[in-house]
Amino acid sequence: MDRSASISSQQFARAAARRHVTAWRQIGLARRIATRWRCRQAQKTPALLKRCLDATLALPLLLLLSPVLATVATLCWLTTGRVLRARTVAGRRGRPATLFEFSLPSGRGSGLLRRLGVARLPWIWHVLRGDLSWIGPRPLPIGAPRPAGFQRRSCDRPGVVCLWWIRQRANVDYDTEWAADAEYVENVSLRQDLGIAARACWVRLLHPGRRIAKPRIEVLNTPIRNVSMDEAVNELHELLLTDGPPTQVAFVNADCVNLTCRNSDYANCLRTVNWNYADGIGMKWAACLQGASVRQNVNGTDLFPRLLAALEDSGQAVYLLGGEQGVSADVARWIQRRFPGAHVAGHEHGYFDEGSEQEVIERINRSGADLLLVAMGAPRQDLWIQRVLSQLEVRVAIGVGGLFDFYSGRKQRAPQWMREMGMEWAYRLWLEPRRLWRRYLVGNAVFLARVALHTLFRKQEKQP
């Protein structure tokens, strides 16, 4: 009797424990479900808000532009016999979506309309419908190559404006479109979309679209090698792997060209250098005034890490010369942290006198360096390289201006969004107004005026 009662009490206790554990498991499951639901709601809330903002802006804009839409539709009907043409793209989650555009006629007038974006005015209707968003990745044609991460990219609606378009327009599209899309989808927020919209309006107004780019252009008689960033890195890498006399490389910006107008030695120096790269928004505007186009903003600050990545584990060594005491050492440490396979043969400051110049050259040659980076500022660095190039045993010598200050941490570079707007000069002016006000506020205006007058006189000379 007592034994059976004991067994019953044990069974009851076990059953109670099982019910207790099951209850806690159910509570834990409910909490996990609630957490997931809250996370999904948190993700849906910005998307819902974005959708509402898209429709709120699209509806009044569609009504406001209805006379323009009717006029363009009539023009298309009279000239081509049809109003719209359709194309199928990968919409949200990769599903096919049909987008309509105006069927504009061919010719100069229609080319202007296309550059103004008139052909895509029907996309406002697609934004209102929810096929597109104002901001998002570019609509991809059906059947286009789909990179890794496409599913994450396709979670958002395609956009009328994308981050990659801004970077292309501003000549800073150094990486791939997929990298820009991945950057966008990983940081989706209303704040980011508003920033992209503001930058898109800015670059649309102030950055001319790309034209057919010649392999070489001239800006005030200074020859420029018109290549992309990747092509520049590949060219320099090949030079470093090729035996031959040392090669001088220069990054030419608006201030450098202004200096050539006052310094004949510097002008002759840049005219004899075959490897001048266009650096900065000023060079892009100068090319535009001449009816040409600069392919990309090939500046030393952005080229530097890409060139180091190409040199990793290649056996090629770099020597850092320039900056104040300790600056080049900090840059060398930065290289070792970020590119452990890149070899720094040596480094030293750039404040040496003519008496110790030969010792500096001997130290560079003894180091076995293949690449010499000289950060002394223009025109000193380029004139110095030209003068001692025959004594150097390096394969490539590049004047890099203030690059060491950025990578040593002495100075902060402009944020990415300012560089996409072509306003890095404004950020530097804000940091150092006393030193740079004349260079940027006066120098940029003088530079563009010189280019405009030079272009005008050349056109007049060509006329019979």
The mean pLDDT value of the chain amounts to: 87
272 in the same domain as 169: no
Could you read off the pLDDT of 180-197 as tens digits, one per residue?
988 888 888 888 999 999
pLDDT exceeds cutoff 50 at 406: yes
Per-residue model confidence as pLDDT tens digits over 92-119: 877 888 999 999 888 766 777 888 889 9
Distance CA 360, CA 354 (A): 10
> Domain check: are 340 and 226 in the same one?
yes
Q: Please tell me the distance from the alpha carbon of residue 321 to that of residue 328, in angstroms, as a whole number.
A: 7
Please give the average per-residue pLDDT across 35-61, as a whole number.
Answer: 72
Last residue of a domain, one of 175, 206, 237: 206
Identify whether residues 337 and 416 lie together within a single domain.
Answer: yes
The kind and range of the H/E element at 322 are strand 317-322
Torsion angles phi and psi, residue 397, rounded to 5: -125, 125
Domain contains 182: yes
Lowest mean pLDDT among 132-146, 309-323, 338-352: 132-146
Are residues 271 and 337 located together in one domain of the fold? Answer: yes
Return the sign of the alpha-carbon dihedral for residues 210, 214, 218, 223.
positive
139 and 234, same domain (yes or no): no
| Residue 275 forms part of a structural domain | yes
Q: Are residues 187 and 231 in the same domain?
A: no
- Taking every pair of Cα atoms in the chain, the longest distance, rounded to a whole number of angstroms, is 128
Q: Which residues pair with 141 in a beta bridge?
A: 89
| 187 and 230 fall within a common domain | no
Pairing type for strands 96-102 and 159-161 reads unpaired
Residues 298 and 441 in one domain: yes
**Which of 155, 182, 206 is at the close of a domain?**
206
Does any domain span residue 37? no
Residue 81 within any structural domain of the chain: yes
* 316 and 353 fall within a common domain: yes
Place of tokens 């223009």: 378
Structural domain span for residue 201: 49-206
174 & 61 share domain = yes
Tell me whether residue 3 is in a domain: no
Inside any domain, residue 4? no
Residue 447 predicted with pLDDT over 60: yes
Same domain, 278 and 352: yes
Q: Report yes or no on 107 lying in a domain.
A: yes
The CA distances from residue 418 to 135, 172, 401, 426, in Å, are 18, 11, 20, 9
Q: How confident is the model at residue 308 (pLDDT cuts 50, 70, 90)?
A: very high
* pTM score of the predicted model: 0.85
Of the CA atoms within 13 Å of residue 398, those in its CB half-sphere come to 30
Residue 25 falls inside a structural domain? no
Structure-token match 């004991």, residue found: 6
Q: Are residues 161 and 255 in the same domain?
A: no
Count of domains forming the chain: 2
